Structure 1
Amino acid sequence: MSYKLTYATMFDPPADLHARFDAALAETESALGAEHLLHIDGMDRAGADSELRHGPIDRRRILGRFALADAAQAAQAMEAAHAAFPAWRATPMAERVRLLKRVAALIEERVYPIGAALALEVGKNRMEALGEVQETADFFRHYAEDFERHEGFDHALPDDPLPGFKSRNRSVMRPYGAWVVIAPYNFPFALAGGPVAAALVTGNTVVFKSASDTPWSGRLLADCLRDAGLPAGVFNYLNGSGNEVGEVLVWHPRTAGVTFTGSFEVGMHIYRGMAAGVYPRPCIAEMGGKNACVVTANADLERAATGIVRSAFGMSGQKCSALSRVYVDEAVADALIETLLAKIRALRIGDPCLQENWMGPVTTAKALQNYARCSALLSAHGGRVLAGAQRLEEGELAHGNFVAPTLAEAPAGHPLFAEEMFLPIVMLCRVGDREEALRLANDSPVGLTAGCYGNDDDLAYFFDHIEAGVTYANRPQGATTGAWPGYQPFGGWKGSGTTGKAIASFYYLAQYLREQSRTVVE
């Protein structure tokens, strides 16, 4: 790419980007319907079963036939990863780093065809799709370089003060073993590739299970790892149900650790399972958010409205970082609402593969049903719909999972202020001052991202009091969204995460390692 694509820079891309995406999309669409296999112990393999997958943009369109693993194949993948672990752990750091950088290079070479597949499978617009693919390449490169910078987490310590002896001490970080990565459907490439890269570069082997709704993205990631030349068994790809395949992976005796991204309920189930064995095993879980934005009386309302719309409705609200709650000072509430409504009316909704459309469909049939349920609740409990709350079924939209971007105003006690909807629905509440706004923003068991618009004093108060792991101030690119490797570490507080450490942070790689103190007396 001729410019640095991130979620913050994606709003004004060069014309060449669109031409290359259109060419890749045409080629990808011409090959729809192909068969996609699992990858176990260095081999592409058929599943115990298979299923046809249809796209959310047009449910009549068949994306492909995807292999489904069963419990036996999940166990085979775990055994393969376990068997490959000793040799991979012993592989010199420089070689592991070289292979991961090769994966990054392959992803970048394939950024347009993979981006086209992501757009078709998830329903992202082209910029979001290309951004996710590039972000994944950046994850592989970032973690490889970070491991090099830390010199493999091998540190000399002072000698013991023993007369007549030399007592040499070291702190050495060592990998755990066969690591399981379970990815979500909203970022099926990046939130698979990131933890896969971290686990591999630190010397663990990996069994990766894609989200059941987005197996194509997982298979495309597996292709890049396979083609980079990783040894057999070091990386394994499965597609299958969480109830069958996922449960086998979590409870398997060979599982040394798990990285999971998804709902709070499933994340806590896995977390408890990893603690319930003969001894506790590490579980790195990112479990979503109920992300709030505070708009004070001193805010730039144009900037605030731009950031709110981008974060609430980007990818149809299906980001764990999506803006879900707005707490606005009553002195500027009417003006903010007026600005928001104008921006919502201007959104182009339709086939997200087309350049002119910004918002696509929700990804799953379950999300479509949930949108109808939440929309029906908006006018209850003192709430009122300001925009949206309807399914879009005109023309070709009738064949996809299209819904309207929705803004509703309600008192703070409305139940949808507490529910992670994962939909293009944002709730707005008027408050008396910033103290009330921060109290309500923190009144949640989760704390992933948050944003604030105001003056310097407002921002200082916000940063000092907000209970969230990723925070943004006066950001038009997105009130609560847009973290990128190397720029903004991404991780949550409270029920949004199990470790308090963020993705792509100074502290992330060490979570895939355990410390060993070594003393040798000469």
Structure 2
Amino acid sequence: MQNILQHFQLGELNSGVSTGNSWLHSNGEKIVSSSPVDGKVIGTVQAADRAAYDAAISSAQKAYPIWKAIPAPRRGEIVRQIGEGLRKNKEALGKLVSYEMGKSLQEGYGEVQEMIDICDFAVGLSRQLHGLTMHSERPGHRMYEQYHPLGIVGIISAFNFPVAVWSWNSMLAWVCGDVCVWKPSEKTPLTAIACQRITAEVFAANDVPEGVSCLVIGNRDAGEWMAADERVPLVSATGSTRMGKSVAAVVAGRLGKSLLELGGNNAIIITENADLDMSLIGAVFGAVGTAGQRCTTTRRLIIHESVYDAFKDKLVSAYKQLRIGDPLDQHNHVGPLIDQDAVKAYLASIEAVKAEGGKFVVEGGVLSGAGYESGCYVKPCIAEVENHYKIVQHETFAPILYLIKYSTLDQAIALQNGVPQGLSSAIMTLNLREAEQFLSNAGSDCGIANVNIGTSGAEIGGAFGGEKETGGGRESGSDAWKAYMRRQTNTINYSTKLPLAQGIKFDF
């Protein structure tokens, strides 16, 4: 790991504020990054104070007119080069993600690959920032609409995907002509600094001014500054529903725009017509991948009564085979939770399940002993519950899987939809009618609805996000790029007269 830290120029004390290749002085508090893998301190970051934050925003303001004047395909070419930089650094960055966050090495590599993929998507997008033309009711007139960049895009990202979600936002924002100020999770600051160094090198090689890519590492106050900052027209925030509600209220109070990707409480419906072996793979990976710390983690299995016992037995058998340990060891399936606070939330949730009457069929607990010195390793567990339990309605960022029995598909869909969140959902069935009902407007109310795949592992080509308390935002693919731009309707009169719309007469 020491070689990787040296590779990204990560010393014992690192500046947490950057406008590109420049790293700014700050008197903010020191943030210590400790790995949940072994509990060791990786490095320390000097967080942003208000003066350093304002300096970064000022740099972004100065860079914006220059950046937006560069033709979009040229901006796309620069993003392509960032993708190449990520390809060259995939192994080192993937290992750093795995070590600082605690996800498996394969997932660390996968997260960097996701960044590379969004770069490729953004390159193509840079030549497709299209508008529309429409016919005018007035003779000799032409109407069309086009999109322009917004300005500064503030990005607040979470620890569980410490770099990928930033790239979803920044790569699209950059090809759209925006500049970005990134406030990463204070729990994973070093991966953010590594990404900043990769992008800054590419921007400098292309004579891009400082300020197009800014990094502001800080605690909650840095996010609050950004949310309230009228210089930041769009704030994209990923995290808990509680955090998102706070950001949304502050941004709306100044009539700014917010793009929210918040909590999930995702379910897989397993029907009597499901391929149970295939369903098992989707359910187990969805429930224990990233130690249950994905917003798309499978938290509930809604299982038809006719296959309930058989599938429960398969789950119990599969959980006995899970290997928990160092995520950099690719033989292990499950790594640690992010920190001790997450462990406390996991234990509290287990007690809440028991208090409400839930029955555990696979018991949980904290692991100790050799290899578990950080105290962040926990056992994935399974409980039989009722959907209305208060704890089941809540998103717990931990590997706790809830089993719920159903008898009719209408009932299953109602259970699936019967939570405050609406991010990801899935149905396992070989019956066409069941699949189509699930995808119809009488089916899943989530932003993502899958058939015969699990709830996690979204591809960048589709718009990512959800409804209800998930926030309603969309990131990554499809037409998510429109969130980073302002729409403008244009009417051109090429006639010799000035007729008014709606046939209004105004003669004098």
> What TM-score do you get using the length of structure 2 for normalisation?
0.91
**1:26 Cα offset (Å):** 7.0
Alpha-carbon distance in 2 for matches of 1:30, 1:90: 36
Find the partner of 1:460 among 436, 441, 445.
Answer: 436
Alpha-carbon distance in 1 for matches of 2:95, 2:317: 30
Name the counterpart of 1:92: 71
Name the counterpart of 1:510: 482
SS at match of 2:124: helix
Letter of the aligned partner of 2:380 in structure 1? P
Name the counterpart of 2:239: 262
Find the partner of 1:237 among 209, 215, 221.
Answer: 215
> Which deviates more from structure 2 when the two are superposed, residues 490-499 or residues 343-352?
490-499
SS at match of 2:344: helix
The 8 Å contact of residues 125 and 175 in structure 2, kept in 1 or not, is answered as no
Matches within 5 A, 1:269-308: 269-277=246-254, 280-308=255-283
Matches within 5 A, 1:349-428: 349-428=324-403
The 8 Å contact of residues 463 and 479 in structure 2, kept in 1 or not, is answered as no
Cα deviation 1:420-459 (Å, max 9, x = unaligned)? 0011001111122222111111111211001111232222
Q: Point out where structure 1 has 5 or more consecutive residues left out of the alignment.
A: 1-24
SS at match of 2:181: strand
Please say if 1:482 is aligned against 2:457: yes
Name the counterpart of 2:449: 471
**1:350 Cα offset (Å):** 0.3
CA shift in 2, pair 1:65/1:333, >3 Å:
same
The 8 Å contact of residues 41 and 81 in structure 1, kept in 2 or not, is answered as no
Find the partner of 1:52 among 28, 32, 41.
Answer: 32
**1:47 Cα offset (Å):** 3.1
**1:28 Cα offset (Å):** 2.2
Alpha-carbon distance in 2 for matches of 1:30, 1:88: 31
The 8 Å contact of residues 96 and 201 in structure 1, kept in 2 or not, is answered as yes
Alpha-carbon distance in 2 for matches of 1:68, 1:418: 35
CA shift in 2, pair 1:330/1:91, >3 Å:
same
> Which deviates more from structure 2 when the two are superposed, residues 94-103 or residues 407-416?
407-416
Alpha-carbon distance in 2 for matches of 1:155, 1:329: 47
Name the counterpart of 2:408: 433
Name the counterpart of 1:132: 111
The 8 Å contact of residues 73 and 126 in structure 2, kept in 1 or not, is answered as no
Cα deviation 1:346-374 (Å, max 9, x = unaligned)? 01110000121111000122111101111
Cα RMSD after superposing both structures = 1.8
CA shift in 2, pair 1:158/1:433, >3 Å:
closer
SS at match of 1:103: helix
**1:257 Cα offset (Å):** 0.8
The 8 Å contact of residues 79 and 254 in structure 1, kept in 2 or not, is answered as no
Letter of the aligned partner of 1:172 in structure 2? Q
Letter of the aligned partner of 2:248 in structure 1? Y
Alpha-carbon distance in 2 for matches of 1:415, 1:93: 49
> What TM-score do you get using the length of structure 1 for normalisation?
0.89
Alpha-carbon distance in 1 for matches of 2:47, 2:5: 23
Name the counterpart of 1:315: 290
Alpha-carbon distance in 2 for matches of 1:168, 1:435: 50
Alpha-carbon distance in 2 for matches of 1:254, 1:196: 17
Cα deviation 1:107-139 (Å, max 9, x = unaligned)? 111000000100100001111000000101111
SS at match of 1:517: strand
Cα deviation 1:37-87 (Å, max 9, x = unaligned)? 22126512243243332110111x121121210122112211221121111
**1:158 Cα offset (Å):** 4.5
Letter of the aligned partner of 2:482 in structure 1? A
SS at match of 2:148: strand
**1:246 Cα offset (Å):** 1.0
Matches within 5 A, 1:100-249: 100-148=79-127, 150=128, 152-158=129-135, 161-162=138-139, 167-229=141-203, 230-242=208-220, 244-249=221-226
SS at match of 2:476: coil
CA shift in 2, pair 1:30/1:69, >3 Å:
closer
Cα deviation 1:215-271 (Å, max 9, x = unaligned)? 1111111112101114211110010011x1111111112111111111111111111
SS at match of 2:354: coil
Letter of the aligned partner of 2:337 in structure 1? V
Letter of the aligned partner of 1:458 in structure 2? E
The 8 Å contact of residues 293 and 451 in structure 1, kept in 2 or not, is answered as yes
The 8 Å contact of residues 449 and 481 in structure 1, kept in 2 or not, is answered as yes
Alpha-carbon distance in 2 for matches of 1:143, 1:98: 9
SS at match of 2:329: coil
SS at match of 2:299: strand
Name the counterpart of 2:57: 78
CA shift in 2, pair 1:26/1:249, >3 Å:
closer
Alpha-carbon distance in 1 for matches of 2:333, 2:258: 36
Letter of the aligned partner of 1:349 in structure 2? I
Alpha-carbon distance in 2 for matches of 1:153, 1:455: 39
Letter of the aligned partner of 2:321 in structure 1? A
Name the counterpart of 1:64: 43
Please say if 1:28 is aligned against 2:4: yes
Name the counterpart of 2:505: none
The 8 Å contact of residues 75 and 248 in structure 1, kept in 2 or not, is answered as no
Q: Point out where structure 2 has 5 or more consecutive residues left out of the alignment.
A: 495-508
Alpha-carbon distance in 2 for matches of 1:134, 1:34: 28
CA shift in 2, pair 1:333/1:160, >3 Å:
closer
